[in-house]
């Protein structure tokens, strides 16, 4: 299998969990040093000297997707699962956020997923099987104030991969969307603010108190093995918000408007 965005956080944890179940792992991200460390960790755990391999690349360079996908397939001679974990968030009001932030969020959270899925799909079609594991967010269902680019990119992700599932499910190709709530990763530290060159640089309290990545990975992989189309792993408030969006959307809208007004008065909160 191939895990993209594997240098830290959820991606690293997903690679470890799939490897624990006996899979050969190809891992990718921009940071080659972290990938090498993960390869060493995975191979030391299962004793397989060739159980993991790294292909560093920048997923936002969309043109290289076909070439990198071919290399990933060739590492172990086949590819059964593509797990897409790369992601970036934002912190800031729409009125104060440069369009470069919207573009970067979509390039990382949406277009890189699409490019890699399109590059791998011919291999899955050729072998008559495969699985796309898409790491999204509960914000794929509802939007938070001061998270407009992030929320929008995740909702686009759901729309795209729901459509792909409808096209390929009868061809023995599954699409699993994983929607986490708060997870203890570097997401808030690296979140963009007013422009694509400015980062939040702080660990939000909600993120710091989130699920451990290893816990998230265990739950997610169990859902993939069970062939669940949608795997929600989130705190009770987030799950309630998803249901409110479906059943009482006006109540959720009022809640978010109140939250937006408080943020406007008090500034960004963690």
Please calculate the CA angle 109-55-172 and round it to the nearest 5 degrees: 65
Residues 6+ positions from 149 with CB-CB distance below 8 Å: 90, 97, 101, 102, 104, 105, 106, 192
- By the 8 A CB rule, do 150 and 106 touch? no
Please calculate the CA angle 230-260-137 and round it to the nearest 5 degrees: 15
The single residue of 150, 182, 211, 215 carrying the catalytic annotation is 150
- By the 8 A CB rule, do 96 and 205 touch? no
Nearest to 53 by CA among 36, 67, 70: 36
Using the Cα atoms of residue 138, residue 142, residue 145 and residue 151 in order, give the sign of their dihedral: positive
- How many C-beta atoms lie closer than 10 Å to residue 266's C-beta? 8
- By the 8 A CB rule, do 199 and 193 touch? yes
How many angstroms from the chain centroid is the CA of residue 32?
19
- How many C-beta atoms lie closer than 10 Å to residue 40's C-beta? 11
Establish whether 150 is a catalytic residue. yes
- Residues annotated as catalytic are 150
């Amino acid at each position: 299998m191939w895990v993209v965005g594997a240098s830290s956080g959820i991606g690293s944890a997903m690679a470890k969990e799939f490897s624990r179940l006996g899979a050969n792992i190809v891992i990718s991200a921009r940071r080659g040093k972290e990938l090498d460390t993960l390869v060493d960790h995975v191979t030391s755990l299962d004793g397989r000297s060739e159980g993991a391999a790294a292909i560093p690349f920048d997923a936002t360079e969309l043109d290289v997707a076909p070439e990198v996908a071919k290399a990933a397939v060739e590492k172990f001679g086949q590819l059964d699962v593509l797990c897409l974990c790369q992601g970036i968030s934002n912190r800031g009001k729409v009125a104060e956020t440069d369009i470069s932030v919207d573009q970067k969020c979509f390039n990382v959270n949406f277009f890189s997923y699409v490019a890699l899925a399109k590059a791998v799909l011919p291999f899955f079609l050729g072998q008559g099987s495969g699985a796309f594991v898409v790491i999204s967010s509960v914000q794929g269902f509802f939007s938070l104030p001061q998270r407009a680019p992030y929320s929008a990119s995740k909702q686009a992700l759901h729309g795209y991969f729901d459509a792909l599932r409808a096209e390929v499910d009868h061809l023995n190709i599954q699409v699993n969307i994983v929607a986490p709530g708060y997870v203890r990763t570097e997401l808030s530290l690296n979140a963009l603010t007013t422009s694509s060159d400015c980062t939040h640089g702080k660990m939000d309290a909600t993120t710091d108190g989130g699920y451990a990545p290893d816990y998230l990975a265990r739950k997610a992989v169990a859902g993939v093995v069970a062939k669940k189309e949608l795997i929600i792993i989130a705190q009770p408030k987030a799950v309630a918000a998803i249901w409110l969006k479906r059943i009482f959307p006006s109540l959720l809208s009022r809640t978010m408007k109140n939250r937006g007004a408080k943020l406007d008065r008090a500034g960004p909160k963690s």
